[in-house]
Structure 1
Amino acid sequence: MAQNSFKFTAEEKQQIKKAVEAAESKTSGEIVPFFVDQSDEYEIAALRGAIIFVIAALFIVGLLSYTWALPFPITPLEIIIFTLSMGVLGFVLARYSETVKRIFVPKELMVERVEQKALIAFLEEEVFNTKKRTGILIFVSHFEHMVEVIGDSGINENVKQEEWQAVVKLVIEGIKAKDPASGIIKGIHLCGELLERAGVNKPRDNRNELSDDIRLG
């Protein structure tokens, strides 16, 4: 997988950590911000790119031949070489260009992969490992331009999944503005407000159960 596309300065990482600390200071919630470059390699994109470019090449050659628009005679071998070259071009573009790859990956597949990756991160980061099951994962996947917020059982009893969409919106707005740090900080602050309004109260022994640092997967 490529190097993470999200770049945070040391100062931004510290600001994000402080935002988590502030949001957690008033409730028993434990917030885990997690950023990844992409949630899957999407090898299907390269295959689809190659197939579509081959079909396009054959269509172009066939159309030009049918309309007598070819500027010079072309042999069957040259047709094969041209078609295969186009297939290779489609494969390479769909594999190594994010913009092209995104065209050839079905939206439904991206949603599925992001959800799966978020659940894996939830388990690997042990977001569930809190005394009152009050962990929250804010999962951001760069390639897909998607954000998932997953609350543990102790959170979901008080905050509905629909309410997390406001958090998702803030994070996405920050990314679109090329300021992901600001977006995630605003999202974290809103998480704290939602938890406080929902009555996810701070216990007397409110020790920090999960690291407040940003995770880059």
Structure 2
Amino acid sequence: MLNDDERAQVKAAVRAAEAQTRGELYCVIAAESSDYRETPFLWAGLAALAAPAILLVAGVQVSVPDAFAPWTAAQAGAAVERAVRGALTATLILQAVLFVLVAAIGSLGPVRVFMTPRSVKKDRARRHAEELFLARNLHQTRERTGVLIFVSEAEHAAEIIADEGIAAVVDQSEWDAAIAALVTEAKAGRLGEGLARAVGMVGEILGRHFPADQADNPNELPDAVVEIPRL
């Protein structure tokens, strides 16, 4: 996801930022935050439900016997039954075809992500960031000053999560400019530079609220960016 120069750039930015604050920064880039396995089946089900409407739009009709034709009651009943059975069979076949076709197309990775609603992808990215915050022990720094800068590539999402020691003082809105800078650079294909810029901006914010203690400022978290491949 990053080349060696970009990894070195981000690592240097983390070290420079932490030199001016007691906060601890941790950067993670994930290829994706979810596999969205349920998405193709959701769309496939909706496509199958649309089969009757598709048949109606296509002009398919159920023909019934002419009431004034010389039919016996048994003949008329049998003809109606055949017509209805044929229409139901056509509907079921079309539903099955649509379900399989949409599910197969949606199973392709990029298509699956594209078919997932934006709100769902944003929620999954946020949840993944929160899980990583705990899994990587960012909540166990001495002054509860861990900050996670998280990027999820497939979702085109970025999150900044701060531990309670920082969240009690710094409002989430203060991170917006850093996230905006990160997203702008990432869209231009400069993810490493965007991450380094965001780290610098977060460091400035932390420096104002939690300035470094030059006599006691341990480095409690790794400075290198963590890259998580596709699930």
TM-score, normalised with respect to structure 2: 0.78
1:155 is the counterpart of 2:166: yes
1:158 CA drift (Å): 3.1
Give 1:190's match in structure 2, choosing from 191, 196, 201: 201
The aligned residue for residue 3 of structure 1 is: none
SS of 2:151's equivalent in the other structure is strand
Structure 2: runs of 5 or more not aligned: 62-85
What residue number does 1:136 align with?
Answer: 147
Alpha-carbon distance in 2 for matches of 1:99, 1:179: 24
Shift of 1:151: 0.9
- State the secondary structure of the residue aligned to 1:128: helix
Q: Deviations over 1:125-169 (max 9, x none)?
A: 111222111110011112222211111122223321110111111
Q: Which has the higher contact order (CA 8 A, sep 6+)?
A: 2
1:157-215 CA distances to partner (integer Å, 9 max, x unpaired)? 33211101111111111221121111111100101111122243334121211000111
Matched length: 205
Q: Percent identity?
A: 29
1:27/1:203 contact within 8 Å kept: no
Further displaced range: 35-44 or 134-143:
35-44
User: Do the aligned residues in 1 keep the contact of 2:33 with 2:128 (CA within 8 Å)?
Assistant: yes
Flag the 1:127–1:203 CA change in 2: closer, same or farther, 3 A: farther
> Which string of whole-angstrom CA distances, capped at 9 and with x for unpartnered residues, describes residues 34-64 of structure 1?
1112222222211112113323444333311
Within a 5 Å distance, the mapping from 1:79-158 to structure 2 comes to 80-103=92-115, 105-158=116-169
Quick check: 1:136–1:152 contact (8 Å CA) kept in 2? yes
Structure 1: 5+ residue runs without aligned partners?
1-6, 68-73
User: 2:149 aligns to what SS in structure 1?
Assistant: strand
For residues 5-28 of structure 1, give each alpha carbon's deviation from its aligned partner in whole angstroms, at most 9, with x where no partner exists. Answer: xx1111111111111111111111
Number of the residue aligned with 2:225 = 214
Q: Using the alignment, how far apart are the partners of 2:109 and 2:118 within structure 1?
A: 17
For the 8 Å contact 1:138–1:147, the answer to whether it is kept is yes
Cα distance in structure 2, aligned partners of 1:193 and 1:122? 21
Instruction: Tell me, yes or no, if the aligned pair for 2:19 and 2:212 is still in contact at 8 Å.
Output: no
One of 8, 13, 16 as aligned partner of 1:14: 8
CA distance in 2 between partners of 1:144 and 1:167 (Å) = 18
**Aligned with residue 38 of structure 1, among 16, 26, 32:** 32
2:170 and 2:113 map into 1 onto residues whose CA distance is 36
Q: 1:62 aligns with which of 47, 56, 75?
A: 56
- Report if aligned partners of 1:20, 1:31 keep a CA contact under 8 Å in 2: yes
CA contact (8 A) 1:140 1:148 kept: yes
CA RMSD of aligned residues (A): 2.4
Please tell me whether Structure 1 or Structure 2 has the larger radius of gyration of its CA atoms.
2
Q: TM-score, normalised by structure 1?
A: 0.83
Q: Provide the C-alpha distance between the structure 1 equivalents of 2:47 and 2:119, rounded to a whole number of angstroms.
A: 22
Worse-superposed segment, 196-205 or 156-165: 196-205
Contact 2:36 2:112 in 1 (8 A): no
